[in-house]
Amino acid sequence: MKIGITGIGSYIPSIVTKNEDFLQHKFMETDGTAFEEHNDVIIEKFQAITGIANRRYAKPELKTSDLGFLAAEEAISNAGIDKEELDYIIFAHNFGDVTHGKIQGDTLPSLATRVKHLLRIQNPKCVAYDLIFGCPGWIEGLIQANAFIKSGMAKKCLVIGGETLSRVVDHHDRDSMIFSDGAGAAILEANPSHGEILSHASVTYANEEAYYLYFDKSNSPEACADTRYIKMLGRKIYEFACINVPKAMAACLDDSGVSIDDVKKIFIHQANEKMDEAIIKRFYKMYGKEVPKNIMPMSIQDLGNSSVATVPTLFDMVLKGKLPKHQVEEGDVIIFASVGAGMNVNAIVYRY
């Protein structure tokens, strides 16, 4: 049985936050001391490493579930299906709905249930649940949906990845400049007209790596000691990703039976431009190859890191011609890959 993506959609927030918008921030070390460098130097170095010049933030009235709903509507329309035929709605996220100006995440009811409610789906057999798997959550959702369909438990699944990270960042932490908001969604079906998942791989490293991404207090000693924000050990994540993501991608590719020479595009989690380039370089080196030109579409420059949303929004942009230098044609082999909190790594080899 072939199982493939029949519809894709995304919601990219309209508020553009530029690097210069951080010039007045008071960045601090984790011990509360101020950086010796001026913000313009910090921002210049940040952009050189991450590639980020702009990022998108959601409007105050929109929550993560709203972004997911808007992406889901587009995916359902793109697939041309009846929403009542959906067997599963899987919503991958990390922090639930965080109301603008509030400090608490809300996951009751689940974001998937909220999307089902917003879609006005009447069918009670459409099961809605959330998936917490860090940044690789959307890819993991596809893997789970693929298993449901392969087992006969489902025929059509909606997989959403959405986040509003701008509402859980510490404005005194320079890493806050990485994060952004957005949502992407896909419809996965049995026996599509074209498209097929060829193989997948998932791994979790939870020993010393478990808390490379974590929740902690602000870097500012004057901030509320009881409020927590997203934090990360950037150098450790970089080193971890450069070693373990290529290995997962290679295991997945080898399992697919496809030659690396036949891979046309790699859609990798938009976490850090330099890190992604290093991952792809090491991946091709494992096969004694140089990285082909134009193999890796990137959106991080203008969209930032929206966690679970980066891969589906990037895929959607390419398919809909929003990145003119990149195209995917029917029959092309592509790879989805991601890494994130957990620490989780996964990949899918897909024939479009």
pLDDT exceeds 90 at position 229: no
Q: What is the pTM of this model?
A: 0.95
Q: How many helices (H) and strands (E) does the chain have?
A: 8, 15
Per-residue pLDDT reduced to its tens digit, 312-329: 999 999 999 999 899 999
Q: What stretch of H or E contains 65?
A: helix 64-79
300 pLDDT band, cuts 50/70/90, is very high
Residue 97: how many CA atoms within 13 Å on its side-chain side?
20
The reported pLDDT for the residue numbered 30 is 86
Write down all domains in the chain, each with its CATH number in brackets: 3-194 (3.40.47.10), 198-351 (3.40.47.10)
Q: What is the pLDDT of residue 221?
A: 85
Residue-level pLDDT at 220? 86
Q: What pLDDT shows up at residue 151?
A: 95
| Residue 57 φ/ψ, nearest 5 degrees | -115, 145
Interior CA angle at 193 toward 191 and 194, to 5°? 95
Q: Please compute the mean of the pLDDT values over residues 74-83 and round it to a whole number.
A: 97
Phi and psi torsions of 289, nearest 5°: -120, 155
Contact assessment for residue 8 and residue 195, using Cβ atoms and an 8 Å cutoff: no
Task: Identify each DSSP E strand in the chain by its residue range.
Answer: 3-11, 15-18, 54-57, 88-92, 97-98, 105-106, 127-131, 156-164, 181-190, 196-204, 213-216, 229-232, 263-268, 333-340, 344-351
Summarised one tens digit per residue, pLDDT across range 1-38 is: 899 999 999 999 999 999 999 998 888 888 888 888 88
| pLDDT score at 231 | 92
The encoded tokens of residue 348 equal 């899918």
First to last CA, the chain: 15
pLDDT tens digit sequence for 142-185? 999 999 999 999 999 999 999 999 999 999 999 999 999 999 99
SS3 231: strand
Q: What is d(CA 140, CA 118) in angstroms, rounded to the nearest whole number? A: 24
Asked whether residue 225 carries a pLDDT value surpassing 90, the answer given is no
Average pLDDT over residues 231-258: 96
Per-residue pLDDT for 95 more than 90? yes
For residue 34, the model assigns a pLDDT of: 85
Predicted confidence (pLDDT) per residue in 101-121, tens digit: 887 889 999 999 999 999 999
Distance of CA 175 to the CA centre of its chain: 17
Q: What is the per-residue pLDDT across 253-293, written as a single tens digit (0 to 9) for each?
A: 999 999 999 999 999 999 999 999 999 999 999 999 999 99
pLDDT of residue 84: 98
Distance CA 82, CA 211 (A): 42
Lowest mean pLDDT of 175-179, 182-186, 199-203, 348-352, name the range. Answer: 175-179
- Name 48's Cβ contacts closer than 8 Å, sequence gap at least 6: none
**According to the model, what pLDDT value does residue 37 have?**
86
Q: Which two tokens stand for residue 34?
A: 């101020």
Q: Alpha-carbon distance 136 to 69, whole Å? A: 20
Q: Are 187 and 178 in contact, with CB atoms under 8 Å apart?
A: no
Burial per residue of 233-263, b for 16 or more beta-carbon CB atoms within 10 angstroms, e otherwise: ebeebbebbbebbbbbbbebbeebebebeeb
Indicate if the pLDDT at residue 134 is higher than 90.
Answer: yes
pLDDT of residue 322: 94
- Check residue 126 and give its pLDDT: 98
Element (DSSP H or E) covering residue 50: helix 39-50
Q: Average pLDDT, stretch 65-76? A: 98
